[in-house]
Structure 1
Amino acid sequence: MSEARGRSEAGDAPGGVREVKSAARTVELLELLAERGDRPARLQELADELAVPRSSMYALLQTLIGRGWVRTDVTGSLYGIGIHALLTGTSYLDSDPRVRAVRPYLDEASQALGETVHMGRLDGRDVAYLATRESHEYLRTISRVGRRLPAHVGALGKALLAERDDAGLPEGPYEAWTSHTHTTREALVADLAKVRERGYSVDREEGVVGIVGFGFALRYDSPATDAISCSVPVARLTPEHEASVVAVMREIRGKVEGSSGGGAVEWR
């Protein structure tokens, strides 16, 4: 069960207000469908996963289908996330002043380095990708806008975890994405100490085999919640290129932090 769905079982929303069960159930369903990606779900699967009576789940699905939040196949037996989820996600990105401020600098970094660069935001124990500029060279990565990745796996997440006290790290073991992933708390803590010492994180094939990432926390918040990174195929990563990537990304971080004044609304 996801962390978000687990929170709703406690019965209290932020601020101590009793949460609305029907609203919580709707959100849980949409989160579950989003997690499944390209794997559509059947009615009974959804009812079982969320511990909801089949009849109630069917009624909820039909309501959401009518509003475009859920879609179904021609047989009406398979369900997936609907287009309104995309439209809402796009609205989030368009309305976020930090994302708007960072985008031009991602363009600058990508043009200077010829590599793929990202912006991500810490969300619980994951990092959500908010912006990506792809390399002109073929590069197979797992990241795209809206994708989530466990914070212990990639350069973005480790850059942000290093801004926080290690006491907040879970005990583990952690999920392994490759044979290089840190799967113990001790290994991750040792890596985060190096991140703090050098000022940026390095992901050496921990999330994707053949890809090295360099992550830089954006410290316009304390602790930082946003970071930028550059992903480079191992085949192109010479010592000279690595030095260039680090230098350019440090410069980009400085420009972002110097220019980002945030927005009129301070979101929590």
Structure 2
Amino acid sequence: MTEQGISVPHVKSAVRTVELLDFFAQYPGLHSLSDLQGKLGYPKSSLHALLRTLVGLGWIETDVTGTLYRIGMRALLVGATYIDGDPVVQIARDALDWLAEVTGETVHLARLDHFDVVYLATRASRHYLRPFARVGRRLPASTTSLGKAILATREEDEVAGLLPAELPRLTKNTIDDQGRLLADLRRIRKRGYAVDREENTEGLRCFGVALDIAQPPRDAVSVSVPVPRLTPGRDKEIAAFLLEARDRIELAARGVRRTY
């Protein structure tokens, strides 16, 4: 492993701890020791000792039988601290509130992490809408307007280096071909915003813009609209509000000491 060109030694127990917590974050619910051992490949005795340690520290919890494991309360506390202390989340708060109010739709703020986007803030639609994304949720960047907006700020060779060998396919509309994705990113650069055409959730169209705050940009804002509510001209109206929100956030970020 390297960090900024400097070799960083692995500490096996630390790596296994992080990988185990990542597994629980990716696969919510209860898991048996045998299931975890099969998925992670650790020696069962070492895994059991690690689980006991993390249970004792509150990072992992067990069911009443003590044989099934899930993520613990301490992980929530640490995650909440990250959100509460993130400067972009704080800077964007008023603009997200405004965007949700003027559109009446669900609004998200997310950040690129490797080839995924992680949701940092959400404002719910005033209309009934089954929750489909939550703070802390991770989704493939290529399937969301948020992720595509951020990827479109990169050069094509950089994007190609970020792409996994196989692009994930979440719906029948998901772009799962690298050439098609790169072509879509070129259209996004010309248009100024990204569109997810039911590529992540069927029946839902999303519009996203990247925020020019960090370099390279790593954050984006989106508006999600159920397809039946996309009346003629509504997409252009949503895009205009979204671009205005982007400008408000970037203006608020100017002069703020960059710690992000």
Match of 1:240 in 2: 233
Instruction: Return the letter of the residue paired with 1:203.
Output: D
Q: 1:234 to 1:35 in 2, by over 3 A?
A: same
> Structure 2 CA distance, aligned partners of 1:171 and 1:104?
35
The CA deviation at 1:263 is 6.0
Q: Could you tell me whether the CA contact under 8 Å between 1:13 and 1:19 is conserved in 2?
A: no
> Structure 2 CA distance, aligned partners of 1:173 and 1:265?
35
Match of 1:180 in 2: 173
The CA deviation at 1:265 is 6.4
Give the 3-state SS of the residue equivalent to 2:206 in structure 1. Answer: strand
Give the 3-state SS of the residue equivalent to 1:120 in structure 2. Answer: strand
1:31 equivalent to 2:18? Answer no
Q: Deviations over 1:161-182 (max 9, x none)?
A: 1011222323643111111000
Q: Could you tell me whether the CA contact under 8 Å between 1:97 and 1:262 is conserved in 2?
A: no
2:251 aligned to which of 249, 258, 262: 258
Give the 3-state SS of the residue equivalent to 2:210 in structure 1. Answer: strand
Give the 3-state SS of the residue equivalent to 1:152 in structure 2. Answer: helix
Match of 1:53 in 2: 43
Instruction: Return the letter of the residue paired with 1:190.
Output: A
Q: Deviations over 1:135-179 (max 9, x none)?
A: 021123521100001000010000001011222323643111111
Match of 2:208 in 1: 215
Give the 3-state SS of the residue equivalent to 2:126 in structure 1. Answer: coil
How many pairs were matched up?
255
5+ residue gaps, structure 2: none
5+ residue gaps, structure 1: 1-11
Q: How does 1:139-218 map to 2 (within 5 A)?
A: 139-167=129-157, 168-169=159-160, 170=163, 172-218=165-211
1:249 equivalent to 2:234? Answer no
Match of 1:8 in 2: none
Deviating runs (4+, > 6 A) in structure 1? none
Q: Could you tell me whether the CA contact under 8 Å between 2:87 and 2:259 is conserved in 1?
A: no
Q: Deviations over 1:54-113 (max 9, x none)?
A: 111111111111111001111111111001111000000111111111122111100111
Match of 1:76 in 2: 66
> Structure 2 CA distance, aligned partners of 1:98 and 1:144?
17
The CA deviation at 1:216 is 0.4
Match of 1:120 in 2: 110
Q: Deviations over 1:203-245 (max 9, x none)?
A: 0100001100000000112221000000000000112222221
Instruction: Return the letter of the residue paired with 2:206.
Output: G
Q: Could you tell me whether the CA contact under 8 Å between 1:218 and 1:228 is conserved in 2?
A: yes
Match of 1:226 in 2: 219
2:99 aligned to which of 102, 106, 109: 109
Q: What TM-score do the two structures reach when normalised by structure 2?
A: 0.94
Q: 1:180 to 1:62 in 2, by over 3 A?
A: same
> Structure 2 CA distance, aligned partners of 1:262 and 1:95?
18
Q: 1:261 to 1:37 in 2, by over 3 A?
A: farther
Q: Could you tell me whether the CA contact under 8 Å between 1:172 and 1:184 is conserved in 2?
A: no
Q: What TM-score do the two structures reach when normalised by structure 1?
A: 0.91
Q: Which stretch has the larger CA shift, 12-21 or 84-93?
A: 12-21
Instruction: Return the letter of the residue paired with 1:102.
Output: A
> Structure 2 CA distance, aligned partners of 1:131 and 1:171?
26
Q: 1:103 to 1:237 in 2, by over 3 A?
A: same
The CA deviation at 1:264 is 5.0
The CA deviation at 1:19 is 2.1
Instruction: Return the letter of the residue paired with 1:36.
Output: Y
Q: Which stretch has the larger CA shift, 49-58 or 188-197?
A: 49-58
Match of 1:18 in 2: 9
Match of 1:85 in 2: 75
